[in-house]
């Protein structure tokens, strides 16, 4: 790769240069791969007489009038005549040099959208340039690039054009690996930057054009190679090898459980056990719908590690969730003689120091806590297995930090990540190509399906009456308050007001309140009361989103359901229907609700399949938001769209495997071309 053509370090960089760097436009190839968002057609002129309201077009003529008017705002009003008809141009912001170019008698070429104005057809703030009769029209469509405020389009256009000329666009990918009929890279890039005027703009805009297909394939290929490389690198690392023995801790735990595993649970435990018996670090994602029973699978994996004399860490995103896990694991494992430790941010002072010491000495075999605490502060004597719950909240950077911390011990720990947000297969293949995936696709028996109902907020009183009925029958109810992302304070006000309203309406019942700002001890106290059945209604902000397990809860009301993502609603809904009683989830929305809003909530009522919901969610929101931008890798996929281009993923994957096996150097060159310095990050 030739060195980047940037200015020498000591020379001041101009604002546009700095802006280009921010956009990652450093090397010639970066510029060549910076593709247009859309195009403007400056290859033809339209006669003013042919302009219609709403039409975007280019016209050329002589200025007949140029005046600053006050009507009522100060503005520049220009009259243009093309020999046939007249067009008004209006500028609300203008500078002296604009007035110079637009002076009466000058010939100008103007491009903009025609609108029916007060005086007839006009263009407001059109693009314009002074021309003479000889000035040629553009021969290709004019690209419009994604840019930022401090980087003018014209500057970027020039930079891209010259980057494109200089960049080495030789074919790296062996033709046999390309989909049949692929365009050459150079041809595709030249075309996309400067398409011929007769091309169908629709195929360019929806990126179905063969030139786009080639680039998307290139991009996915780079991504797949870099992930496969990460996987191969991991295969060179060493992890402790665990023996799975008859009569071992794992079997004793299994025998002590109050239920039999589902066959799906058996299968995934077996997959994990296979990994743990190898000296290559496990890197597995365990996905299973809410309530599918992932915790016990985690406990069985931990049992294997601990039986072999290694420590195990289990991390959860919130204290409540960590505590839930902790209690369950203690209940299962302490009778079998396992020493546990419990660590979260709110645990301070002497108790904390003692815990840390027990972990450092190896006395505590199982350590449960929040992600942050375990990563930042805990030293392990002998960590063999790290289990991370709700992996979708766990960023790439955090995964890296965890690995680095544990590398101090020459061996890598095995890693098990768990997620209740099922990741559709193509997305998993694309973004987590270096992860092995186990899926629990079956719920434990005896669950009654949850009935989901969608009501307008106008029915609030009826809903409250239903709550009273449920409470009278000894059942428990969750009321989830709206999520207002901008303001935790507003969340709180809302939850507090609802709490008051329900307390008043449900006199004689205990209505509790749980929110993110409460001290951990108070949260625990509230949860304890709810779990023990001493509280009938729990009003809560989204802190109960994951993992809370109260089988007697039979009704959940979600207020402002339209503000939640589908997967989030599904997670929330999974808090009920955990016991044998018939459960109901009420989604309250506030009118007016858009059509998409309605169909989204309808989808929730129609299906209980987490995968189906995840798929619809992905369609509606796109992968970045779906997974949380942090770890979605979305900025790394600029062109390929995981919905529309799913068909390109398997061939890209296959090509990556073949290429890495046959020509690893060249395959890496391809990655460097596409990802540059981002490749490392992607491997995390």
Query: What residues line the site for ligand ADP (CB under 6 A)?
Result: 259, 261-262, 265, 288, 290-296, 420, 444, 549, 578
Instruction: Select 285 or 636, whichever has its Cβ closest to ligand ADP.
Output: 285
Q: What are the structure tokens assigned to 560, written together?
A: 């402002």
CB of 252 vs ligand ADP, minimal distance in Å: 17
CB of 325 vs ligand ADP, minimal distance in Å: 9
Question: 369 is in the binding site of which of ligand ADP, Mg ion, none (Cβ under 5 to 8 A by kind)?
Answer: none
Cα angle 588, 480, 622; round to 5: 75
Instruction: Select 195 or 547, whichever has its Cβ closest to Mg ion.
Output: 547
| Phi and psi based region of residue 508 (left: phi greater than 0; alpha: psi -120 to 50; beta: remaining) | left
**C-alpha torsion sign, points 635, 636, 637, 639:** positive
Instruction: Select 434 or 545, whichever has its Cβ closest to ligand ADP.
Output: 545
What's the rounded Cα separation, in Å, for the pair 53 and 317? Answer: 55
Stretch that binds Mg ion, among 38-46, 228-236, 237-245, 544-552 (CB under 5 A): 544-552
CB of 399 vs Mg ion, minimal distance in Å: 19
Phi, then psi, of 255 in degrees rounded to 5 = -70, -30
Does 610 sit near Mg ion (CB under 5 A)?
no
Question: 126 is in the binding site of which of ligand ADP, Mg ion, none (Cβ under 5 to 8 A by kind)?
Answer: none
10 Å CB burial of residue 73 (0-12, 13-18, 19+) is: exposed
Stretch that binds Mg ion, among 86-94, 435-443, 541-549, 667-675 (CB under 5 A): 541-549
Q: DSSP secondary-structure letter at 74?
A: E
Look up tokens 């046999």; give the residue: 176
Q: Which residues are paired to 311 by β-bridges?
A: 383
What's the rounded Cα separation, in Å, for the pair 444 and 221? Answer: 39
Size of the site for Mg ion (CB under 5 A): 1
Instruction: Select 329 or 454, whichever has its Cβ closest to ligand ADP.
Output: 329
Element housing 300 (H / E):
helix 294-307
The side-by-side arrangement of strands in the sheet containing 537-540 is 450-456, 583-589, 553-558, 476-480, 537-540, 511-514
User: How many CA atoms, within 13 angstroms, populate the side-chain half-sphere of residue 451?
Assistant: 7
Stretch that binds Mg ion, among 210-218, 232-240, 488-496, 540-548 (CB under 5 A): 540-548
Look up tokens 């003529």; give the residue: 61
DSSP 46-72: --GGG--TT-EEEEEEEEEEEEEEESS
CB of 462 vs ligand ADP, minimal distance in Å: 30
Which one of residues 547, 577, 610, 623 is an interface residue with Mg ion (CB under 5 A)?
Answer: 547
Stretch that binds Mg ion, among 277-285, 401-409, 539-547, 616-624 (CB under 5 A): 539-547
Stretch that binds Mg ion, among 111-119, 231-239, 478-486, 546-554 (CB under 5 A): 546-554
Are the beta carbons of 67 and 104 closer than 8 angstroms?
A: no
Those residues whose C-beta lies under 8 Å from the C-beta of residue 177, and which sit 6 or more positions away, are 221, 655, 658, 659
CB of 138 vs Mg ion, minimal distance in Å: 59
Instruction: Report which residue's Cβ sits closest to Mg ion.
Output: 547
CB of 333 vs ligand ADP, minimal distance in Å: 14
CB of 295 vs Mg ion, minimal distance in Å: 5
Instruction: Select 281 or 547, whichever has its Cβ closest to Mg ion.
Output: 547
Per-residue binder mask for Mg ion (CB under 5 A), 102-141, x = binder: ----------------------------------------
Contacts by residues 17-20 (CB-CB < 8 Å, ≥ 24 positions apart): 18/150, 19/147, 19/148, 19/150, 19/151, 20/151, 20/156, 20/159
What's the rounded Cα separation, in Å, for the pair 666 and 14? Answer: 35
Instruction: Select 321 or 343, whichever has its Cβ closest to ligand ADP.
Output: 321
CA distances from 271 to 32, 275, 283 (A): 44, 7, 12
Question: 422 is in the binding site of which of Mg ion, ligand ADP, none (Cβ under 5 to 8 A by kind)?
Answer: none
Those residues whose C-beta lies under 8 Å from the C-beta of residue 653, and which sit 6 or more positions away, are 224, 429, 433
Instruction: Select 292 or 375, whichever has its Cβ closest to ligand ADP.
Output: 292
Are the beta carbons of 287 and 417 closer than 8 angstroms?
A: no
CB of 471 vs ligand ADP, minimal distance in Å: 22
Look up tokens 């503005």; give the residue: 75
Phi, then psi, of 30 in degrees rounded to 5 = -60, -40
What's the rounded Cα separation, in Å, for the pair 221 and 207? Answer: 17
Contacts by residues 574-577 (CB-CB < 8 Å, ≥ 24 positions apart): 574/289, 574/290, 574/291, 574/420, 575/290, 575/478, 575/544, 575/548, 575/549, 575/550, 576/450, 576/478, 577/291, 577/447, 577/448, 577/449, 577/450
Instruction: Report which residue's Cβ sits closest to ligand ADP.
Output: 293
Instruction: Select 546 or 648, whichever has its Cβ closest to ligand ADP.
Output: 546
Question: 308 is in the binding site of which of ligand ADP, Mg ion, none (Cβ under 5 to 8 A by kind)?
Answer: none
CB of 29 vs ligand ADP, minimal distance in Å: 45
SS3 (DSSP) at 190: helix
CB of 324 vs Mg ion, minimal distance in Å: 8
CB of 566 vs ligand ADP, minimal distance in Å: 17
Q: Which of 673, 671, 676, 651 is nearest to 227 (CA)?
A: 671
Instruction: Select 297 or 454, whichever has its Cβ closest to ligand ADP.
Output: 297
Question: 119 is in the binding site of which of ligand ADP, Mg ion, none (Cβ under 5 to 8 A by kind)?
Answer: none
Question: 209 is in the binding site of which of Mg ion, ligand ADP, none (Cβ under 5 to 8 A by kind)?
Answer: none
Instruction: Select 549 or 657, whichever has its Cβ closest to ligand ADP.
Output: 549
CB of 364 vs ligand ADP, minimal distance in Å: 22
CA distances from 384 to 199, 322, 527, 595 (A): 59, 19, 32, 51
Instruction: Select 287 or 632, whichever has its Cβ closest to ligand ADP.
Output: 287
Question: 296 is in the binding site of which of ligand ADP, Mg ion, none (Cβ under 5 to 8 A by kind)?
Answer: ligand ADP
Question: 437 is in the binding site of which of Mg ion, ligand ADP, none (Cβ under 5 to 8 A by kind)?
Answer: none
Instruction: Select 283 or 294, whichever has its Cβ closest to Mg ion.
Output: 294
Instruction: Select 214 or 578, whichever has its Cβ closest to ligand ADP.
Output: 578
CB of 572 vs ligand ADP, minimal distance in Å: 12
CB of 565 vs ligand ADP, minimal distance in Å: 18
Using CB under 5 A, list all residues that contact Mg ion: 547
């Amino acid at each position: 790769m030739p060195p980047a053509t940037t200015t020498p370090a000591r020379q001041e960089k101009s604002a546009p240069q700095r802006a280009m760097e921010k956009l990652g436009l450093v090397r010639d190839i970066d510029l060549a791969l910076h593709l247009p968002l859309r195009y403007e057609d400056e290859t033809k002129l339209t006669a003013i007489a042919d302009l219609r309201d709403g039409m975007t077009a280019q016209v050329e003529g002589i200025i007949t009038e140029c005046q600053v008017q006050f009507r009522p705002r100060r503005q520049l009003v220009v009259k243009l005549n093309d020999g046939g008809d007249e067009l008004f141009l209006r500028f609300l912001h203008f500078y002296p040099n604009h007035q110079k170019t637009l002076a009466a008698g000058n010939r100008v070429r103007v491009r903009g959208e025609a609108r029916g104005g007060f005086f007839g057809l006009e263009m407001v703030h059109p693009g314009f340039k002074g021309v003479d009769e000889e000035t040629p029209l553009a021969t290709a469509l004019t690209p419009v690039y994604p840019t930022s405020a401090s980087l003018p389009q014209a500057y970027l256009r020039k930079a891209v054009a010259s980057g494109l000329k200089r960049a080495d666009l030789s074919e790296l990918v062996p033709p046999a690996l390309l989909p049949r009929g692929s365009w050459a890279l150079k041809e595709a890039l030249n075309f996309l930057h400067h398409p011929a005027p007769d091309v169908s703009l629709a195929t360019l805009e929806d990126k179905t054009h063969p030139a786009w297909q080639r680039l998307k394939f290139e991009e996915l290929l780079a991504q797949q190679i870099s992930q496969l490389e990460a996987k191969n690198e991991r295969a060179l690392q060493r992890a402790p090898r665990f023996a799975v023995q008859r009569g071992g801790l794992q079997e004793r735990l299994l025998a002590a459980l109050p239920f039999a595993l589902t066959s799906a649970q058996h299968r995934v435990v077996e997959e994990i056990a296979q990994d743990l018996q190898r000296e290559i670090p496990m890197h597995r994602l365990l996905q299973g719908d809410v309530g599918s029973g992932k915790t016990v699978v985690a406990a069985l994996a931990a049992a294997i590690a601990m039986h072999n004399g290694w420590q195990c860490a289990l991390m959860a995103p919130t204290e409540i969730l960590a505590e839930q896990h902790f209690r369950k694991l203690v209940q299962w494992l302490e009778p079998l003689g396992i020493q546990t430790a419990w660590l979260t941010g709110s645990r301070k002072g002497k108790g904390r120091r003692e815990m840390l010491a027990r972990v450092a000495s190896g006395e505590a075999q199982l350590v449960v806590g929040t992600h942050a605490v375990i990563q930042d502060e805990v030293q392990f004597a002998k960590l063999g297995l790290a289990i991370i719950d709700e992996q979708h909240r766990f960023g790439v950077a955090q995964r890296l930090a965890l690995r680095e911390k544990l590398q101090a011990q020459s061996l890598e720990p095995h890693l098990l990540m768990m997620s209740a947000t099922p990741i559709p297969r193509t997305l998993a293949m694309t973004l987590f190509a270096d992860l092995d995936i186990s899926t629990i696709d079956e719920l434990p028996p005896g669950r009654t399906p949850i009935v989901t109902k969608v009501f307008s907020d106008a029915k609030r009183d009826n809903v409250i009456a239903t709550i009273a009925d449920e409470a009278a029958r000894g059942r428990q109810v969750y009321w989830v308050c709206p999520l207002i992302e901008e303001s935790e304070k507003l969340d709180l006000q809302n939850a507090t007001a609802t709490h008051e309203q329900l307390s008043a309406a449900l006199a004689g019942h205990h209505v509790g309140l749980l929110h993110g700002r409460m001290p951990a001890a108070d949260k625990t106290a509230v949860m304890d009361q709810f779990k023990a059945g001493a509280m009938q209604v729990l009003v809560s902000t989204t802190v109960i989103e994951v993992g809370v397990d109260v089988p007697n809860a039979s009704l959940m009301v979600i207020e402002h359901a339209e503000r939640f993502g589908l997967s989030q609603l599904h997670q929330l809904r999974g808090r009920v229907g955990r016991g044998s009683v018939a459960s109901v989830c009420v989604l309250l929305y506030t009118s007016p609700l858009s059509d998409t809003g309605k169909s989204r909530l309808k989808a929730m009522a129609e299906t209980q399949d987490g995968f189906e919901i995840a798929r619809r969610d992905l369609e509606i929101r796109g992968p970045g938001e779906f997974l949380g931008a942090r770890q979605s890798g979305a900025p790394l996929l600029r062109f390929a769209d995981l919905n529309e281009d799913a068909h390109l993923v398997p061939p890209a994957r296959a090509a990556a495997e073949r290429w890495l096996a046959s020509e690893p150097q060249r395959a890496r060159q391809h990655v460097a071309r596409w990802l540059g310095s981002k490749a490392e990050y992607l491997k995390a």
